[in-house]
Amino acid sequence: MAQIIDGKAVSAAIKEQVRDEIARDNIKAGLAVVIVGNDPASRVYVNNKKKACEFCGIKSFEYALPEETTMEQLLELIDTLNADKNVNGILVQLPLPKQLDEKAVIERISPKKDVDAFHETNVGKIMIGNYSFLPCTPAGCMELIHSTGVSVAGKECVVIGRSNIVGKPMAMLLLHENGTVIVCHSKTKNLAEVCRRADILVAAVGKPNFVTADMVKEGAVVIDVGINRLENGKLCGDVKFDEVSEKASFITPVPGGVGPMTIATLMKNTLTAAKIQKNEQ
Ligand code: NDP
């Protein structure tokens, strides 16, 4: 039976570290969160980010824009936030309404304030291993892997999913820690067979209960990034938890696994941004 990796506990410890450093060094840190439209899931995420900021002693600035916001209006706000000295980090909650070009919006954020690490400059820095910020969700997954005491070096790591925000950077972080990494996607052949090779299996597919026990090697570390809402309103991951936990050595639950880590890393990144910007003044 697998040990459950407690994302709430690991994330709480990270937020406490951030809070303590901010208090100890009297650091002024500010995070601007921009939300456009009325997506209920986005609203929940933004509220959780606000709560985490309050806990850590980070000033949060929230900009809730109407659904019909134009590109021009959004870019103008980003320019203002880029120039605002009280704002160290800028996060635009995705997804955006369809009239808005997400890529152009992300590229407009100053790379120094891009605490999500989605800007091309930051993506490139992660690729070469010389970065200030790590993308929040993959970095959170790495912290959870570290919390198990299992070393990534030399392990076969399989990531299911190749999105720019989760799968690809996740693969890169595992590679930086000397894992032997395979990235799977919708065109991968013999997926179950490939997954069974994994000492560390990361599922970022967005399909409930996609990873079943027959896809998992005995003793594997299984990280479930998926957040899927079922018809009954319950949240569920990409991994069929009950049967996979019989085989894995460590497994993350949903909720309470990767989710809280994403926010903890965001707090860490905002603190890093504040320190870098202070040193540049
Ligand atoms: P995307 O939809 O952008 O990517 C999904 C990936 O899964 C794609 O690369 C896709 O392949 C692959 N895929 C889809 N179907 C299959 C299949 N049958 N076999 C193999 N691969 C498949 O999703 P995200 O990366 O943005 O998110 C993934 C999940 O993680 C979602 O549930 C999301 O809600 C969750 N998430 C959770 C976060 C957290 O804080 N815990 C943060 C961000 C996301 P292809 O590229 O070929 O289409």
pLDDT tens-digit series, residues 248-275: 999 999 999 999 999 999 999 999 999 9
49 neighbors 60 (Cβ within 8 angstroms): yes
pLDDT digits (tens, 9 = 90+) for 91-104: 999 999 999 999 99
In this predicted structure, the answer to whether residue 53 has a pLDDT above a threshold of 90 is yes
pLDDT score, position 101: 98
Annotated catalytic residue 113: no
Which position among 114, 116, 224, 238 bears the catalytic label? 116
Which position among 15, 93, 168, 247 bears the catalytic label? 93
- To the nearest whole number, what is the mean pLDDT of the chain? 97
In the structure, what pLDDT confidence band is assigned to residue 111 with cuts at 50, 70 and 90? very high
CB contact burial 70-98 (16+ within 10 A = b; e otherwise): eeeebeebbeebeeeeebbbbbbbbebee
pLDDT score, position 85: 96
**Cα–Cα–Cα angle for 264, 266, 269, rounded to 5 degrees:** 115
pLDDT score, position 79: 98
Annotated catalytic residue 93: yes
CA distance 76 to 218: 53
In this predicted structure, the answer to whether residue 151 has a pLDDT above a threshold of 90 is yes
For a ligand 1 pocket test, name from 96, 116, 141, 205 the mutation site with the most ligand atoms within 8 angstroms of its C-beta: 205
Q: Domains in the chain, start-ordered, CATH in brackets?
A: 26-110 (3.40.50.10860), 136-259 (3.40.50.720)
In this predicted structure, the answer to whether residue 41 has a pLDDT above a threshold of 90 is no
Give the predicted TM-score (pTM) of the model.
0.97
pLDDT digits (tens, 9 = 90+) for 203-255: 999 999 999 999 999 999 999 999 999 999 899 999 999 999 999 999 999 99
Annotated catalytic residue 49: yes
For a ligand 1 pocket test, name from 225, 229, 258, 262 the mutation site with the most ligand atoms within 8 angstroms of its C-beta: 225
Q: Is 166 in the pocket of ligand 1 (CB under 6 A)?
A: yes
Element (H, E) at 92: strand 89-92
pLDDT score, position 116: 96
pLDDT score, position 191: 98
pLDDT score, position 224: 98
Q: Is 228 in the pocket of ligand 1 (CB under 6 A)?
A: yes
In this predicted structure, the answer to whether residue 281 has a pLDDT above a threshold of 90 is no
Average pLDDT over residues 110-124: 97
By alpha-carbon position, which residue is closest to atom 4 of ligand 1?
163
Which position among 15, 49, 112, 113 bears the catalytic label? 49
pLDDT score, position 218: 98
